[in-house]
Structure 1
């Protein structure tokens, strides 16, 4: 065989091999029906905002970890939303100032940047509004007023410089509004990429066979009616007990905010990312394990009774949503030092 003929044969073989590889890759891509529900909805975005500069995010992290923003200097945002524990404290309801118990379970702060609203009852439209609430809640951080918050921060020269760096266009940047903007900027970038993200990106092998079966059941059963979008939740408020009334109805959810009959028992749908690591579940922290939670949701939201094998498959899929914690964020920062002007702890 002459050299040109051999070269042509080799090229033809290479093209055939390449075509086969591309065909296999195309075959390996997840079906559209399994990835479409988790794309970003048009009304929400997980992308950082233009104002979320590194200086603002760094300041937000300090504020998130600083217990001096509580009346007795013993509670920070991280107390109830422990970043090293997937953003929760693993108790039904958190303990706040003076040992007082809250009404609702503390949800994770990971992957919440694109939520339709904050808090279980959706009363805060943005992360900025949400960040202010716990500061003055008597059952949480219990600060008496914004003057105490600002007096605390302005008493420390290092904080003043950090606010000036984070908000360079403002003459007096240490404000309550900028406190919440910085905390929100920090929280918006708290994401936990997982194997499920590789699957969504086209890697069909990222999920095991059982996890894939669980995902297919999750989608076909209608779970994505509520748990959709990049966070697998957080894009709507839904009635708990949609098909079959939920037995515990003391907390009426959104209705307590709006007094609209349509909002009885409506709660913001939680993210399912890292759900394996964020027990106990529901607004009241009344469900301790994930298989039990899956059975309850199937019954009360979908009107279905799942077999043990189906529950195991769905739970396996939910495990694929467990992501990597950002090491840079979970490490407690070195906080600015208090001065003689810093308000003292107040246990009253």
Structure 2
């Protein structure tokens, strides 16, 4: 049995009936251990307190940020937020990417375990039960920013009021006098996408207006917005929406491209609203009306929460920050 006050790797190996090298492999995230054995050793590490007493002494001085795409404007804001909090805490920040899959793979988690960060912030990621167990067995706290789905209650997460944002965007267009207001959805597997569309539909219902076209799911890229813009705007004038609510700013700029290619004016012929308030929104011509999602603040709160969890000082592990409408030049009353 493990010692009650200072458990050792040897004691954990005896209790699990495995070799010391097997326990070492599990602790350091190395391959070559059967899944059932890995789970048993991780549970013993966690329950015995070894992770808290033994691993912290070997822990690096970094906060690891896991991103989908280093090049996106969204990611740049998240990087700024996490880096600021890490610097204030006297820590460095490391970066790793998962690619456009919304889920961290085994290779990435293994790399995180080897680097031994004091905390992990994940953008958009779904963590499997096995990944969560591996991190907790080593006393590495983690927080998800803008989770892809509806995370389990035990997963700390920082999000934004996406439903309220979709509602505010559509109410703004209704107040301008628009009655044919279309929308483009984001990826259907993302909770934020579904919430934004739900807010749009709620505002239409509130105003007694029908959706002029089915809401199709699309990617978050400019080319996705351009393709959907052609679908919505390339119809007879009497059937064409006078306004479009987009799932993010890049989609909205793609709708600009489609409108200009079709000889339409923004906002004269069609008003456009984005979501995020990325830097490109204010640089666009005309400047883009959008819903501001406080990306940098969300990242800062996620990093602070992760560090509070490390110190066992967190009272709440779920938070949604408010979105807000930013009016610019891409929306106006409909002609006529």
* TM-score (ref. length: structure 1): 0.29
Structure number with greater CO (CA < 8 Å, separation at least 6) is 1
* TM-score (ref. length: structure 2): 0.29
More strand by share: 2
